[in-house]
Structure 1
Amino acid sequence: MVKLGLYFKADLENVTDVRPADEDYEWHFKVKCNSCNEIHDNWVGVNRQASNDISGSRGTANYVMRCSFCKRESSAQFEPKPSKPYTIENSGKFAEMAVIECRGLEFVDFEPRVGFVAKGAESDTFFDDIDLTDGDWADYDEKAGLPVGISEIKAEFRRV
């Protein structure tokens, strides 16, 4: 078992508290099987509200997979604490967003997609349904009279 911290980095322009909109967000990861070390081609969706049965066990996990190469079953479970928002103070630096307990697999990449929210740094204007699929987002904060944006998005996993 390994606990992986998902660390997020972006350049924020006049926004703060970037995070998934709710606990029902579908996180998208690339996964590597720890048995055969194969990195699977497809992105997998993991929902922290999901509960999937683990074969031969009474336990459940947010994500359960059987490796298409070695046929081993693996699982991943988000820690129960909520996701941490990415703040303007962290802009340009990696900061932990979530922790995931992995058994038999590791996540090796994260792709943020639609469903993020943020808050205007100067006005507290709420921006919802932010789509980070293209790697950046831009809008305008009417209250503050300032452009807002998220760019240069990167993610990495660290053992915690």
Structure 2
Amino acid sequence: MVKIAPSKYKANLECIEKLYTNHPYYQWFLKLKCGSCGEVSEKFHDLTEAEKIPQKHNRSETNLLIKCKLCSRENSMDVIEGSNGQYTNNDVGKFKTIVIFDCRGVEPVDFEPKSGWIAEAEDDGKKFEDVDLTEKEWVDYDEKNQTSVGVYELEWKFIKVK
């Protein structure tokens, strides 16, 4: 069992106080690498903390159950409950963990952010729901504060955590 924080995020925020996911319903889209044979999936796989899948060989449940196409090993992955955090305007320019995955036999190698993010403007401004970060940036306008808002240069990296 390896705990991985692929969500060491870094971004530039324009007039945004905090950025976070629609936890626990956010769909994490990840490319995965088999820990047994090293095969990397061609497509992105999605997992959501709120969705549980029964494992075939025991009585437990998991967020993602996947069989490697190359070696046929069955692997699983979970979002660690309570690991979802927020990226704030105080974190700009730094990498910050906003989710941790419990990986059994597989590890993420790429992430596709998609929609489902929430951005809250500074100074009690507008709350933008279902923000789409597919392009690794997003812009809008906060009517309440009469200013443009945005998320730019979104980056992430995968690290193992204890």
Instruction: Give how far 1:124 is off.
Output: 3.2
Length-normalised TM-score, structure 1: 0.95
Q: Which amino acid aligns with 2:74?
A: E
> Per-residue displacement from partner, 1:96-132 (whole Å, max 9, x unpaired)?
0111110000011111111111111123321111111
The answer for the alignment partner of 1:89 in structure 2 is 90
Contact 1:3/1:102 (8 A) holds in 2: yes
Distance 2:93 2:142 in 1: 21
CA shift for structure 1 position 82 = 4.8
Residue 110 of structure 2 corresponds to: 109
Identity of aligned residues (%): 34
What does residue 143 of structure 1 align with?
A: 144
C-alpha distance in 1 between matches for 2:46 and 2:115: 13
Which SS does the other structure have where 2:87 is aligned? Answer: coil
Instruction: Report deviation, 1:92.
Output: 2.1
- The one-letter code matched in structure 2 to 1:2 is V
SS in structure 1 at match of 2:17: strand
Give the count of matched residue pairs.
Answer: 160
1:127 corresponds in structure 2 to 128
Equivalent AA in structure 2 for residue 113 of structure 1: K
Contact 2:23 2:84 in 1 (8 A): no
Structure-2 separation of matches of 1:57 and 1:102: 17
Q: Once superposed, which parts of structure 1, at least 4 consecutive aligned residues long, lie more than 3 Å away? A: none
Unaligned runs of 5+ in 1: none
- Residue number in structure 2 paired with 1:25: 26
Q: Name the counterpart of 1:68.
A: 69
- Contact preservation (8 Å) 1:2, 1:101: yes
**What secondary structure, in the 3-state scheme, does the structure 2 residue paired with 1:144 have?**
coil
Question: Where do residues 46-57 of structure 1 align in structure 2 (5 Å cutoff)?
Answer: 46-57=47-58
Counterpart code for 1:118: A
Q: Residue 4 of structure 2 aligns with which residue? A: 4
What letter is aligned with 1:70?
C
**1:9, 1:95 within 8 Å by CA — same for their partners in 2?**
yes
AA in 2 matched with 1:124? G
Structure 1, 81-90 or 25-34: larger mean CA deviation: 81-90
Shift of 1:60: 1.2
| Post-superposition offset of 1:22 | 3.4
Alignment gaps of 5+ in structure 2: none
SS at match of 2:98: strand
Provide, for residues 73-98 of structure 1, a one-character-per-residue CA deviation record: whole Å limited to 9, x for no partner. 00011111151011011112110011
> Contact 2:83 / 2:100 at 8 angstroms: preserved in 1?
no
